[in-house]
Structure 1
Amino acid sequence: MAGLDIGPTVPVWLAEDDLGCIICHGLLAWPVTLPCGHSFCRDCLKGLWGARRHWSCPTCREGAAQQLDLRKNTLLQDLADKYSRAVGELEGGQGRTPIPAPDPAPGPQRRTAQLRAVASKSITEVDHKLAELVEQLVDIVRRLQSQRHLPESGPDNKMNTLGMAFSDGMDISSASPKQGTSNTPEGKMRDILHDLEEIQEKLRENFTEKEPLEEKRQVKLSKAPSSSSCPLVDQSQPASKQVSRFAQWAVSLTFDLRSLSCSLKVSEDCQTVTVSHFSRFYPWSHERFATCQVLCSQAFSSGQKYWEVDTQNCSHWAVGVASWGMSRDQILGRTRDSWCVEWKGTSQLSAWHMVKETVLGSEKPRVVGIWLDLEQEKLAFYSVANQEKLLFECPVSGSSPLHAAFWLYGLHPGNSLSIRPVKV
């Protein structure tokens, strides 16, 4: 049989967003494609379905009557592998590939350094995944605890199986055995929740102790931009009494209900957005986000603007700016017309600019201040305590009006972000 003529090789420019999974925010691994056409990592999809007990697409919510047979999309897997190898070659073997890209004749010291770098990154990723799983378990136990009656058992109900394990007296809280444990299902749930929260706290302490040196270096770089357009701090007042240096540019914002995801709800004053316990049925609109995102109504095309977001009641979030034309099935920061800082809920703060992630550190800001200078086309994010502390600064495009943008991911009911008044 004659060989196929594959024709000329055409270079194609790909970003990680083109081959990314919106659940784990990483490169597709063992990708599967649903009947609606959207693709995800198989394990991410199975984990999401297992926790929520339904089989619908996380992006468009198209559902199925029964659990689907998830088969690998070999074309996407090949593309993801090729992308990983290319990134590994560009970054000297420290990309996302499991093994660094081979050099023609690498020296033993260089090879050892590459392997150590990849091993360190793999361990960190495993730690973060473990923390996410523990958080999901805590959420499941809390939901079970809030129910007055345990549900009846069913062949496909994983939540019921866990409930029956409690009612049958099965002791799965071996992580931290305690004296005088109650034999009632409610008592066992309290004990297990206590154990999980202890594990969760130890994982957080572990992340704090093992903050990579590279993250610290990037934080220092982000704190010292070459030409900042931000106003200087007024040193004439004590720190505890200082008003915001951005007070004169503070704007009042309200959430735009047209863009609100069906998984979110807003307060009556339209200044707090919360993850709903159940998907809400808003009128269909092409302006509504498919994922847990929302924009504010106010559009900014000139001048200097500042606002603050309270993040204390949200475990996974991203805040920033986006154009109104941002694709409604895309994620904040993963498009060229949106920018943000993001807290992953696993002790990692990142910034997204031009579809590229920059790790900033492991400390969660309780309040994020956002400074938008459209005269110089610059955007800056601050951690706000008694005074503003610069987290990240980057250029933005002023070609289209920009809106304040919010993303509450993880679908943890009750998580909320609030637009708070600026100190004047």
Structure 2
Amino acid sequence: MAGVDPGPAIPVWLVEDDLGCIICQGLLATPATLPCGHSFCRDCLKGLWAAGSASRPRSCPTCRESAPAPLQLRKNTLLQELVDKYSRALREAAAQKSIPEVGRELAELVEQLVDIVRSLQSQRHLPESGPDNEGSTPSMSMSSSGGVDLSLASSKPVTSNTPERKTRDILHDLEEIQKKLRENFTWKEAFEEQPQEVQEAPYSSSRPLPDQSHPAPKSASRFAQWAISPTFDLRSHSCSLEVSKDGRAVTVSRHPQTHLGGHERFVTCQALCSQAFSSGQQYWEVDTQHCSHWAVGVASWGMKRTQILGRTQDSYCVEWKGTSQLSAWHMVKETVLGSDRPKVVGIWLDLQEGNLAFYSVADQETLLYECPVSASSPLHPAFWLYGLNPGNSLTIRPIRV
């Protein structure tokens, strides 16, 4: 019997969120699916239920639908296969990414060898290398895939054994290797630098806002008179997060506080600040250097606790994906901003004019993104820390006047 035609391979783009467990914030391990359709690590779900009160019925951590008892948690084999394939793809991508680094190290080594041979040549007062080369020495070239290919510069036998001729031949071959390495990386970098098509939201940093009579300030120093220092609200943060004593830093906990409850608490690693704004102008800054994957912005208190910042009609943010991509989320649409990671993000909320702007605050302040914003409901500073790495933290820092 002939095998079933698998059909064409369809590329599928996944992020860790798609295959993540909201309890441990890691990739699903032995995933179990509840009758409501939501999936979690089997051991995480058992542990969460075991830590709960015996009088409370077991329920789904995402939608709170009651789970029938007794319930046998079976492994979802399809999800497990997807997780395994995703993990393998990550490892392969990491290996491929390291190839250019090896090539650059080779280029640096060859450059050092060229300098050494030239130095020896100048000490012997030898002529520079010429076009003729009768020696046979190994040479390296870069393949089109970025790998290293070993070959011989020449198959001709050595016809001269004098030290001067050998030195000249070695220098000639090293210069040829250096030339090939430079050509390869020049071509590769030029290809990678070609602009990519990105989705553009209705209003982005490259488009003017409808009303330019009061544009957002372009320099962080101009924000000093509107600077605030908000604090994290202890009712909203996820059980996987800890808030510092001064209320201005939030950290992914190494020991999730499963005893915390309440319908106002986020299921994922998110938090809101206590301060709510429905008018006026405010500015605050967030230090993002100690978090590998984050989002900062604003959201209404009514944002659903099972959803992610920026993916709702009442939340806005910029997000660093941890994969060299900075994006903005506005009206549930993503706009790719670039590959530079801001160490400190400044948020300018101008509810007087109805706009929101994000800045990279460094030696020179740079506008990252701006968009119109509505304050039909009061807006709170909002944060998301992708919780795969305990110790990741975001800090609201004092404004330098």
One fold, TM greater than 0.5? yes
What's the offset of the Cα at 1:35?
Answer: 1.2
Contact 2:216 2:348 in 1 (8 A): no
* Richer in helix (by share): 1
Tell me: CA distance 1:212–1:65, structure 2 relative to 1, closer, same or farther (3 Å). Answer: farther
State the partner residue of 2:374.
Answer: 397
Tell me: CA distance 1:308–1:407, structure 2 relative to 1, closer, same or farther (3 Å). Answer: same
For each residue in 1:146-169, what CA deviation from the matched residue of structure 2 results, as whole angstroms up to 9, or x when unmatched? xxxxxxxxxxxxxxxxxxxxxxxx
Paired with 1:342 and 1:132, the residues of 2 have a C-alpha distance of 25
Tell me: CA distance 1:361–1:66, structure 2 relative to 1, closer, same or farther (3 Å). Answer: farther
SS at 2:305 equivalent: coil
What's the offset of the Cα at 1:245?
Answer: 1.5
Paired with 2:270 and 2:379, the residues of 1 have a C-alpha distance of 15
What's the offset of the Cα at 1:260?
Answer: 1.0
State the partner residue of 1:329.
Answer: 306
Contact 2:358 2:368 in 1 (8 A): yes
Work out which of the residue numbers 206, 223, 231 in structure 1 matches 2:205. 223
State the partner residue of 1:362.
Answer: 339
The answer to whether the aligner puts 1:412 opposite 2:372 as a matched pair is no
Paired with 2:205 and 2:246, the residues of 1 have a C-alpha distance of 35
Paired with 2:88 and 2:192, the residues of 1 have a C-alpha distance of 12
Paired with 2:302 and 2:345, the residues of 1 have a C-alpha distance of 24
State the partner residue of 1:106.
Answer: none
Tell me: CA distance 1:232–1:395, structure 2 relative to 1, closer, same or farther (3 Å). Answer: closer
State the partner residue of 2:275.
Answer: 298
What's the offset of the Cα at 1:297?
Answer: 0.2
Tell me: CA distance 1:357–1:218, structure 2 relative to 1, closer, same or farther (3 Å). Answer: closer
Instruction: Give the CA RMSD over aligned residues.
Output: 4.1
SS at 2:196 equivalent: helix
SS at 2:277 equivalent: coil
Give, as a single letter, the amino acid of the residue that structure 1 aligns with 2:207. Answer: P
The answer to whether the aligner puts 1:70 opposite 2:76 as a matched pair is yes
What's the offset of the Cα at 1:233?
Answer: 4.7
Tell me: CA distance 1:22–1:297, structure 2 relative to 1, closer, same or farther (3 Å). Answer: farther
Contact 1:55 1:65 in 2 (8 A): no
Give, as a single letter, the amino acid of the residue that structure 2 aligns with 1:274. Answer: T
Question: 5+ residue gaps in structure 1?
Answer: 1-19, 26-31, 74-125, 136-205, 235-242
Work out which of the residue numbers 230, 238, 249 in structure 2 matches 1:272. 249
Q: Report matched runs for 1:167-316 at 5 Å.
A: 210=192, 213-214=195-196, 222-227=204-209, 229-233=214-218, 244-316=221-293
Give, as a single letter, the amino acid of the residue that structure 2 aligns with 1:418. Answer: T
Give, as a single letter, the amino acid of the residue that structure 2 aligns with 1:210. Answer: E
What's the offset of the Cα at 1:276?
Answer: 0.4
Contact 1:244 1:422 in 2 (8 A): no
Contact 2:271 2:383 in 1 (8 A): yes
Paired with 2:73 and 2:63, the residues of 1 have a C-alpha distance of 17
Paired with 2:189 and 2:309, the residues of 1 have a C-alpha distance of 25
SS at 1:223 equivalent: coil
Give, as a single letter, the amino acid of the residue that structure 1 aligns with 2:192. Answer: K
Give, as a single letter, the amino acid of the residue that structure 2 aligns with 1:421. Answer: P
Tell me: CA distance 1:332–1:384, structure 2 relative to 1, closer, same or farther (3 Å). Answer: same
Paired with 1:414 and 1:208, the residues of 2 have a C-alpha distance of 38
Paired with 1:312 and 1:298, the residues of 2 have a C-alpha distance of 24
State the partner residue of 1:173.
Answer: none
State the partner residue of 1:340.
Answer: 317
The answer to whether the aligner puts 1:130 opposite 2:136 as a matched pair is no
Give, as a single letter, the amino acid of the residue that structure 2 aligns with 1:275. Answer: V
The answer to whether the aligner puts 1:377 opposite 2:354 as a matched pair is yes
Question: Larger Rg: 1 or 2?
Answer: 2
Paired with 1:131 and 1:322, the residues of 2 have a C-alpha distance of 36
Give the fraction of aligned pairs with identical amino acids, expressed as a percent.
Answer: 58
State the partner residue of 1:96.
Answer: none
Tell me: CA distance 1:54–1:388, structure 2 relative to 1, closer, same or farther (3 Å). Answer: farther
Contact 1:22 1:331 in 2 (8 A): no
For each residue in 1:121-166, what CA deviation from the matched residue of structure 2 results, as whole angstroms up to 9, or x when unmatched? xxxxx9996279869xxxxxxxxxxxxxxxxxxxxxxxxxxxxxxx
Paired with 1:363 and 1:127, the residues of 2 have a C-alpha distance of 26
What's the offset of the Cα at 1:215?
Answer: 5.8
What's the offset of the Cα at 1:278?
Answer: 1.6
Question: 5+ residue gaps in structure 2?
Answer: 1-16, 23-30, 49-59, 80-85, 96-187
What's the offset of the Cα at 1:334?
Answer: 0.7
For each residue in 1:250-279, what CA deviation from the matched residue of structure 2 results, as whole angstroms up to 9, or x when unmatched? 111000000010000011101010000121
Tell me: CA distance 1:132–1:256, structure 2 relative to 1, closer, same or farther (3 Å). Answer: farther
Aligned residues: 262
State the partner residue of 1:120.
Answer: none
Give, as a single letter, the amino acid of the residue that structure 1 aligns with 2:246. Answer: D
Q: Report matched runs for 1:26-65 at 5 Å.
A: 34-35=33-34, 37-39=36-38, 59=62
Contact 1:300 1:401 in 2 (8 A): yes
